[in-house]
């Protein structure tokens, strides 16, 4: 079950994340633990997150490798330590779509958002290069806390892809 796509304007937001290069075959085992590591890193420094955990897709090549950052927004910028990096989600217009359902359904939901935007004549903040599609800001935001809702078919995930100016 997905809500209708919409366009929202978001301000720039600082975040902390752990970057990783991963294949599609390994994404489900490699990336999820990284969000927990970022939350522990923040707690060790007495810092709190300012939002839900996310995956930021920087480069996508479905056949080879994806460059992803597993992170969370923070109230103010912090210094990273080499493993955990600091970044800023750029301000701008984002096409968003919120889905309630199993994470395995997200590929289809992503297709729905991409098709909807194409039908609206919208252009993404994305450019192709030799490594794949390089995105300015393409997010999967995990709105459900698995410790509070263990049934993955009830998880809410927001897709938010930045549009070109």
Look at residue 165 and tell me whether its pLDDT is greater than 90: no
Look at residue 40 and tell me whether its pLDDT is greater than 90: yes
- How many Cα atoms occupy the beta-carbon half-sphere of 116 within 13 Å? 18
β partners of residue 128: 133
pLDDT at res. 35: 96
pLDDT at res. 136: 97
Look at residue 1 and tell me whether its pLDDT is greater than 70: no
Look at residue 159 and tell me whether its pLDDT is greater than 90: yes
* Model pLDDT for residues 14-34, shown as the tens digit of each residue: 999 999 999 999 999 999 999
CA distance linking residue 94 with residue 138, whole number of Å? 9
* Model pLDDT for residues 127-150, shown as the tens digit of each residue: 999 999 999 999 999 999 988 999
* Model pLDDT for residues 62-111, shown as the tens digit of each residue: 999 999 999 999 999 899 998 999 999 999 999 999 999 999 899 999 99
CB 11 within 8 A of CB 92: no
CA distance linking residue 24 with residue 46, whole number of Å? 34
CB 149 within 8 A of CB 132: no
* Residue range 6-162 in CATH 3.10.450.50: no
- The structural domains of the chain, with segments of one domain joined by +, span 6-162
The three-state secondary structure class of 157 is strand
Please, which pLDDT band fits residue 3 given cuts at 50, 70 and 90?
Answer: confident
DSSP characters over 13-52: EEEEEEEEEE-TTTHHHHSHHHHHHHHHHHHHTT---SS-
What secondary structure letter does DSSP report for 104?
G
Q: Which of 2-6, 22-26, 51-55 has the lowest mean pLDDT?
A: 2-6
CA distance linking residue 65 with residue 19, whole number of Å? 13
pLDDT at res. 50: 97
pLDDT at res. 146: 87
pTM (two decimals)? 0.95
């Amino acid at each position: 079950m997905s809500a209708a796509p919409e366009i929202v304007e978001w301000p720039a937001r600082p975040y902390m994340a752990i970057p990783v290069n991963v294949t599609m075959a390994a994404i489900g085992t490699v990336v999820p633990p990284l969000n927990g590591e970022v939350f522990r890193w923040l707690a060790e420094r007495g810092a709190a997150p300012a939002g839900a955990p996310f995956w930021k897709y920087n480069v996508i090549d479905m056949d080879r490798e994806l460059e992803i950052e597993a992170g969370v927004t923070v109230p103010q910028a912090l210094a990273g330590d080499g493993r955990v990096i600091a970044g800023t989600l750029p301000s701008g217009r984002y096409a968003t779509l919120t889905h309630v359902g199993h994470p395995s359904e997200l590929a289809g939901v992503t297709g729905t958002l991409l098709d909807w935007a194409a039908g609206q004549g919208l252009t993404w903040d994305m450019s192709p290069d030799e490594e794949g599609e390089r995105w300015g800001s393409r997010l999967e935001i995990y709105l459900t806390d698995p410790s509070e809702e263990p049934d993955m078919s009830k998880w809410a995930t927001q897709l938010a892809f930045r549009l070109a100016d």
